[in-house]
Structure 1
Amino acid sequence: MLSHALESGVLVLTVEDDSGPRDEDLAALISDLIHVHAPTPAVVVLDRTVTGAVIEAVAEAHHRCRHLRTLMSVATPSAPARRALQGRATADGGGLVVHARADTAIATACATAA
């Protein structure tokens, strides 16, 4: 399930569990919301238990939105998920910021946008 809200001028997208849309649908939902709110910075918040399908969906959404030059960050307490996301972002040319905490990701995105 994907929810979204604006917090301090930052689009916060929360993936609450893996029972929602398939990974390609999740990638499309994330990228569509980022496109609609561009140039607002976006933070994707993931649970501690992140599946490979969710990681792939977030990486695909980042790839789809690179041309917008909008700051996109991910926050997850899962160290393996952070490493996987960083690896995918590096392979795609970088540009994805990965944080351990959502509050830090939102504050950083807010400060960067100002």
Structure 2
Amino acid sequence: MVEHGLENGVLVLTLEDEPGPQLHNLAGLISDLVHVHAPTPAVIVLGAVVTDAMITAVVEAHHRSRQVNVLMSVATPSASVRRTLQAQGRGLVVHARIDTAINTADATPA
């Protein structure tokens, strides 16, 4: 499941540790939410448990968000997930802390 809301002018998308049946269309769901709120910057929040499929979905959603010029970043406490996202998500900004990700997205000019 994906929870979403606005915080300090930033769309915050929180992915549950087990997105369940939504996993097959997770990239599409994230992209749709980002597009609806464009040009609002978006932060995807990942928990401690992140699967390869979730990483793939986030990278795909990031690619799609670039097509509409929406700033997207990720916050996750997992150092290994951060490294993987940085390696796969060309230009994807990845943070260790949620507050840092939101503050940075809010302060970055559109």
Q: Residue in 2 aligned with 1:25?
A: 25
Q: Residue in 2 aligned with 1:78?
A: 78
From 73, 95, 100, give the equivalent of 1:99.
Answer: 95
Structure-2 separation of matches of 1:50 and 1:88:
15
Give the direction of change, closer, same or farther, for the CA distance of 1:38–1:19 in structure 2 (3 Å limit).
closer
- Two-structure CA RMSD over aligned residues (Å): 1.4
Residues 65-90 of structure 1 deviation map (CA, whole Å, 9 limit, x = unaligned)? 2111111000000011101100112x
CA drift of 1:45 comes to 0.0
Give yes or no for contact 2:65–2:71 (8 Å, CA) kept in 1. Answer: no
Structure-2 separation of matches of 1:74 and 1:47:
11
Unaligned stretches of 5+ in structure 2? none
Q: Residue in 1 aligned with 2:44?
A: 44
TM-score (norm 2): 0.93
Structure-2 separation of matches of 1:88 and 1:96:
8
Tell me the amino acid that sits aligned with residue 94 of structure 2.
V
Structure-2 separation of matches of 1:75 and 1:29:
18
Q: Residue in 2 aligned with 1:69?
A: 69
Quote the sequence identity (%): 66
Give yes or no for contact 1:40–1:70 (8 Å, CA) kept in 2. Answer: yes
SS at match of 1:17: coil
Where does structure 1 differ by over 3 angstroms across 4 or more consecutive aligned residues?
A: 21-24
TM-score (norm 1): 0.90
| Aligned residue-pair number | 110
CA drift of 1:48 comes to 1.1
Unaligned stretches of 5+ in structure 1? none
